[in-house]
Structure 1
Amino acid sequence: MNTRTVRSVMTRNVVTARPDTTFKDLVTTLADERVSAVPVVDDAGRVVGVVSEGDLLHRLDLPPDSPHRRLLHRHRTEPPSGPLADMAAGLMSRPAVTIGPEATVAAAARLMERHLVKRLPVVENDRLVGIVSRRDLLSTYLRPDGEIRAEVRDDVLQRVLVTDPAAVGIVVTDGIVTLTGSVDRRSTAEIAGRLARAVPGVVDVVTLLDWRYDDRAELKRHYVFDAQVGPTVRWPT
């Protein structure tokens, strides 16, 4: 199946900053480019951090006991100070959470959720090649229903499961796939639902498939047999 990768949805022309980019220039860049964050790259093109609107808010002169100040500093190991306080090197969040271009869209979404970030610099061979945002990841759900149906039919049913697509009804409405009809085995019906759910753009899968043979008991016997039988051990005599 054509699993959607980060490379297919990322933005390639990335607006970046340098470690010595000043606070004012950072604010200007975010406003002019209409972005909420920029990767910070060194002379070799490596990503050394990310400056977001939230990071720049650290420069606000808030009272020490302000709940807003506590919120802003919650995810920083140390507040900016000294000569770097007004430059990207002192304002950025580091280390940057990055991802590779061949990672799946689902992996990128999990990484964003785990680290509570809204975008990920995309790095290949230690160099910045793009950036992917939450909006980019959601763009996969803009796939036309007809395109999704064709992939479920051609890739899931014909290529992977080697099942006659004429025996299975496929209806896709607003990204929700409904499978009807009949297949040979119960396990085939269950696998078809799981594989259809993995197709890019699928929101949900409703499996209404019938099967001619319930192979659950057979699969269970095979599993127990494989788990119990091991190599023959000959003890020395």
Structure 2
Amino acid sequence: MTRSVVTVSPDLGYKQIADLLVDMGVSAVPVVGDDRTVIGVVSEADLLHKVECNGADVHAGLFERRRSRRARQKAAGETARELMTSPAVTVPDGVPLTSAAQLMERHDVKRLPVLGADGGLVGIVARRDLLRRYLRTDDEIRADVIDGVLLGVLWLDPVEVDVTVADGHVTLSGSVDRRSTAQIAARLTRALDGVVGVTEDMRWGFDDTTLRHRYALDV
């Protein structure tokens, strides 16, 4: 997440918010209260309602669709409190990246204010932040597989396992003693930052997974 977050107060005016977005190069800002509690988010889309509805009658008909009615209400807004989308979709600071990504997808938002243990704003995570874990070179990923997985966890001799990485896709080949070792190596590799896929093509001398399956059936 980005810890230095640009925020606005509920009473900040439309023009000041627009200027802030342009000057800071951001597309949205959290609206926070005095205790750093996030009460909403104002985005470029919220501000554009005024442009879209400029000159239109803000007193819409009774049968106007809810979305259109909400857009007209925002078009008439002049402060962050009137313009913001509320309640804001937020996440605690300990949430895994996958959960944050799923939350963005579910609510169709591009950013999530991050809350600390006291419920106050501590940062913001955007879609581009979630993609940073994949912005690693193939050499960096290969080094992580060798040092972190093969040597660090499984205590395997890197000479026995060949690790190749192409555009983030890792291929594991060579030989290990047990089939479960090959499966664990692939699973741990798949969890590394920057890995987009894993092909496990290792030979093994003993299939211990069959024994575990038989034991489970006997129990």
TM over 0.5: yes
- Following TM superposition, by how much is the alpha carbon of 1:140 offset from its aligned partner in structure 2, in angstroms? 1.6
Residue 109 (structure 1) aligned to one of 90, 101, 104: 101
Alignment partners' CA distance in 2, 1:198 and 1:208: 18
What letter matches 1:120 in structure 2? L
Residue 67 (structure 2) aligned to one of 73, 76, 82: 73
Change (3 A) 1:188 1:130: same
Change (3 A) 1:73 1:34: farther
Query: Within the alignment, does 1:90 sit opposite 2:90 as a pair?
Result: no
Q: Is the 8 A contact 1:40 1:88 kept in 2?
A: yes
Identity over aligned residues, as a percent? 51
Q: Structure 1 unaligned runs (5+)?
A: 1-9, 227-237
Secondary structure of the structure 1 residue equivalent to 2:39: strand
Query: Within the alignment, does 1:212 sit opposite 2:218 as a pair?
Result: no
Mapping of residues 128-143 of structure 1, within 5 Å: 128-143=121-136
Secondary structure of the structure 2 residue equivalent to 1:85: coil
What letter matches 2:46 in structure 1? D
Instruction: Report which stretch shifted further, 159-168 or 87-96.
Output: 159-168
**Structure 2 equivalent of residue 16 of structure 1:** 7
Instruction: Report which stretch shifted further, 154-163 or 134-143.
Output: 154-163
Aligned length: 210
Alignment partners' CA distance in 2, 1:145 and 1:79: 46
**Structure 2 equivalent of residue 164 of structure 1:** 157
Query: Within the alignment, does 1:45 sit opposite 2:40 as a pair?
Result: no
Alignment partners' CA distance in 2, 1:162 and 1:204: 23
Deviations 1:48-70 (A, max 9, x none): 111111122333316869xxx96
Q: Is the 8 A contact 1:80 1:90 kept in 2?
A: no
Runs of 4+, deviation exceeding 6 Å:
none
Secondary structure of the structure 1 residue equivalent to 2:165: strand
**Structure 1 equivalent of residue 169 of structure 2:** 176
**Structure 2 equivalent of residue 3 of structure 1:** none
Say which structure, 1 or 2, has more relative contact order (CA 8 Å, 6+ apart).
1
Secondary structure of the structure 2 residue equivalent to 1:166: coil
Instruction: Report which stretch shifted further, 99-108 or 28-37.
Output: 99-108
What letter matches 1:194 in structure 2? R
TM-score by length of 2: 0.84
Instruction: Report which stretch shifted further, 51-60 or 122-131.
Output: 51-60
Deviations 1:17-53 (A, max 9, x none): 1111112221111112111111111011111111111
Deviations 1:150-170 (A, max 9, x none): 211122222333333221111
Change (3 A) 1:56 1:73: farther
- Following TM superposition, by how much is the alpha carbon of 1:79 offset from its aligned partner in structure 2, in angstroms? 5.6
Give the aligned CA root-mean-square deviation in angstroms: 2.6
- Following TM superposition, by how much is the alpha carbon of 1:209 offset from its aligned partner in structure 2, in angstroms? 0.9
TM-score by length of 1: 0.79
- Following TM superposition, by how much is the alpha carbon of 1:81 offset from its aligned partner in structure 2, in angstroms? 4.6
What letter matches 2:111 in structure 1? R
